[in-house]
């Protein structure tokens, strides 16, 4: 049976490079024979603010969270694979993506059980970073993002088959306008290579 993927996209502009990478991922996943549920956090108007209705209750792991959160939980449960495409801003994912984790990957659902509900899933975090690989590595940022997302979210929630892949040098403001299309094609090729690991499993 072909895998079903939840493809999460976190960028406010539909013409952004992040959106283009998300579109590429969508096309590649469909071409591979799978089904795809596209979750565009901005386009769907997801509210990232954690309010009391969705605050964990450490004494009640069966707590009923808000209807919006439970709808997102259902989409996660339905997926075999989870692919998240996002830019790195201020050395972290966008607030809307962090808020999605805070609200939806909640106690009693994603963690807090002896048998994690999400353990059998596979996950790819596909990050876009503006600086070059050399600049990012000098800051140690790749390791920070890997620790935060692969270990701090995926593995903490029982998803052992998880990875973080990074597309570097995505800031185009310093690239002459006539060379930007060529640069975008090269970046999309890098993203495609990162996706190949998911498609080949």
Q: What is the pLDDT of residues 146-196, one digit of tens each?
A: 999 999 999 999 999 999 999 988 787 777 787 888 888 988 898 998 888
pLDDT over 80 (residue 82) = yes
**Which strands sit side by side in the sheet containing 161-167, from one edge to the other?**
35-40, 4-9, 81-87, 122-128, 161-167
85 versus 179: which is more confidently predicted?
A: 85
Query: What is the residue range of 155's domain?
Result: 4-199
Q: Which residues contact 115 (CB under 8 A, 6 or more apart)?
A: none
Q: Quickly list DSSP for 145-187.
A: HHIIIIIIIIGGGT--EEEEEEE-----TTS-GGGHHHHHHHH
Domain CATH code at residue 130: 3.40.50.360
pLDDT over 60 (residue 201) = no
Output the pTM of the full model: 0.93
Percent of the chain with pLDDT over 90: 72
Total domain count, the chain: 1
Distance CA(79)–CA(8), nearest Å, equals: 12
Distance CA(3)–CA(100), nearest Å, equals: 23
Phi, psi torsion values for 122, nearest 5 degrees: -120, 145
Element (H, E) at 5: strand 4-9
Extract the tokens encoding 112. Answer: 């807090």
Interval 78-98 mean pLDDT:
95
Distance CA(98)–CA(200), nearest Å, equals: 28
């Amino acid at each position: 049976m072909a895998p079903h993927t939840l493809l999460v996209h976190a960028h406010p502009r539909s013409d952004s490079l992040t959106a283009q990478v998300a579109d590429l991922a969508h096309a590649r996943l469909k071409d591979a024979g799978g089904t795809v549920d596209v979750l565009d956090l901005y386009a769907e108007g997801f509210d990232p603010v954690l309010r009391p209705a969705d605050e964990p209750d450490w004494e009640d792991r069966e707590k009923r969270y808000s209807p919006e959160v439970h709808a997102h939980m259902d989409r996660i449960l339905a997926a075999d694979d989870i692919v998240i495409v996002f830019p790195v801003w201020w050395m972290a994912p966008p607030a809307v993506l962090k808020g999605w984790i805070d609200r939806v990957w909640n106690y009693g659902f994603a963690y807090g059980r002896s048998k994690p509900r999400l353990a059998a899933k596979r996950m790819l975090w596909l990050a876009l970073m503006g600086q070059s690989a050399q600049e990012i590595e000098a800051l140690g940022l790749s390791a920070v993002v890997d620790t935060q997302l692969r270990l701090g979210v995926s593995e903490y929630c029982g998803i052992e088959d998880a990875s973080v892949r990074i597309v570097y040098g995505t800031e185009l403001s310093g690239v002459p306008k006539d060379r930007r299309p060529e640069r975008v094609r090269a970046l999309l090729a890098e993203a495609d290579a990162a996706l190949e690991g998911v498609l080949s499993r």
